């Protein structure tokens, strides 16, 4: 029903009840309040939780399964995660903002390795809790390096012993736990299987117990602070690393050249309805010509499959149709070039 504009002949009815200024302000405050759409506990807890550990120990898998959604990319290759990524877990009682970090490691052979270590260590600033992730069966040199860095802080640290499901004899874990206890004063120790989501409910309870009482940091419906452009680039990189295996070394990155949303509309030429669509153009950079050949694959089959797999994950994550176009280019020495790393977002 259309609303007619008020004219001089249609004076407002003075007897109509109107909102006072105070009532109007209260209505606005209520609409924009943090809990306007959610029932949250009276002693709601919220805080930042850093997930740290050596490369390839399962940090990203742990965050993804805690969130119940794939947000951070994973592969069998070490140092898959290169950036700090925030994943947001919200319940009626608490909000944990997880900071998934690159693996802390000794070998800073190139500029990108140095930046990854800095990104991981900078995550320890202004967090409320640290989850230190280790393997269930062994202690390694990079574990010790991470623990040394944690020892230089006064942060609350929970030890997460991952891949506990791989041990046939759980008693083997007891000496490891004892060794960790002697090395550091952990607030809690929680064995889990991130991949199989085992004991994650218990871990969530432990996390909540160490967070401060505070208002939500982000909207309770939000799952990350990263843009869709960034997530798209990470998904493409994951698919290449999984597809090429050891054929393509660590030296590749992805740049999003175009990201355009198109609303649902009628095709002006055919008159047929077209669904909403996101058009994404991306360039995959490698360091050598031989790597370019491998990424493209015989008759373009590998890059075609990478595009198909990446598009499916994007559509699932973004909740909309995606048209993805991929290019492969050689950018020699990018991983050890400070200017190139800056331009590529590292």
Question: Number of C-alpha atoms within 13 angstroms, CB side, residue 237?
Answer: 25
pLDDT at 182: 79
Bridge partners of residue 162, in order along the sequence: 135
C-alpha distances in Å from residue 211, one per residue of 43, 160, 198: 11, 17, 22
The mean pLDDT of 150-176, rounded to a whole number, is 83
In whole angstroms, give the CA distance from residue 94 to residue 253.
36
Instruction: State the virtual CA torsion across 115, 117, 118, 120 in degrees, nearest 10.
Output: 120
Task: Please write down the long-range contacts of 272-277, taking CB distance under 8 Å and 24 or more positions apart.
Answer: 275/321, 276/320, 276/321, 277/320, 277/321, 277/322, 277/323
pLDDT at 345: 54
pLDDT at 15: 39
Place of tokens 């370019």: 292
The mean pLDDT of 283-303, rounded to a whole number, is 90
The yes-or-no verdict on residue 279 having pLDDT over 50 is yes
The yes-or-no verdict on residue 319 having pLDDT over 90 is no
pLDDT digits (tens, 9 = 90+) for 164-219: 888 777 777 777 778 777 778 899 999 999 889 999 999 999 999 999 999 999 99
pLDDT digits (tens, 9 = 90+) for 234-264: 899 889 888 876 666 556 788 899 999 988 8
The yes-or-no verdict on residue 327 having pLDDT over 90 is yes
Helix/strand/coil for 143: helix
The yes-or-no verdict on residue 144 having pLDDT over 50 is yes
**Greater model confidence, 222 or 168:** 222
**Contact (Cβ atoms closer than 8 angstroms) between residue 164 and residue 199:** yes
């Amino acid at each position: 029903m259309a609303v007619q504009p008020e004219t001089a002949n249609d004076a407002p009815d003075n007897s109509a009840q109107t909102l006072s200024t105070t009532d109007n302000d209260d209505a606005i405050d209520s609409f924009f309040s943090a809990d306007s759409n959610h029932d949250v506990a009276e002693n709601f807890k919220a805080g930042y939780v850093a997930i740290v550990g050596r490369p390839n120990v399962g940090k990203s898998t742990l965050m993804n399964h805690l969130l119940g959604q794939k947000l951070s990319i994973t592969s069998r290759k070490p140092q898959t995660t290169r950036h700090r990524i925030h994943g947001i877990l919200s319940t009626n009682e608490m909000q944990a903002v997880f900071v998934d970090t690159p693996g802390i490691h000794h070998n800073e052979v190139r500029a990108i390795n140095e930046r990854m270590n800095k990104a991981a260590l900078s995550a320890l600033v202004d967090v409320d809790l640290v989850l230190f992730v280790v393997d269930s069966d062994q202690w390694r040199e990079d574990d010790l390096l991470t623990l040394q860095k944690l020892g230089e802080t006064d942060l609350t640290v929970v030890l997460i012993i991952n891949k506990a499901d791989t041990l046939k004899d759980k008693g083997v874990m007891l000496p490891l736990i004892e060794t960790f206890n002697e090395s550091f004063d952990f607030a809690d120790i929680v064995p889990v299987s991130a991949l199989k989501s085992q004991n994650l409910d218990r871990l969530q309870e432990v996390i909540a117990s160490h967070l401060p009482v505070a208002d939500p940091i982000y909207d309770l419906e939000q799952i990350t602070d990263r843009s869709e452009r960034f997530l798209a680039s990470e998904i493409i990189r994951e698919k290449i690393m999984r597809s090429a295996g050891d054929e393509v070394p660590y030296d590749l990155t992805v740049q999003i050249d175009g990201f355009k949303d198109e609303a649902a509309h009628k095709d002006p030429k055919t008159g047929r309805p077209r669904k909403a669509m996101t058009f994404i153009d991306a360039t995959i950079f490698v360091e050598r010509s031989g790597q370019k050949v491998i990424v493209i694959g015989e008759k373009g089959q590998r890059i075609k499959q990478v595009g198909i797999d990446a598009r499916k994950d994007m559509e699932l994550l973004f909740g909309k149709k995606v048209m993805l176009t991929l290019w492969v280019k050689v950018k020699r020495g990018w991983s050890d070039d400070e200017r190139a790393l800056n331009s590529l977002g590292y």
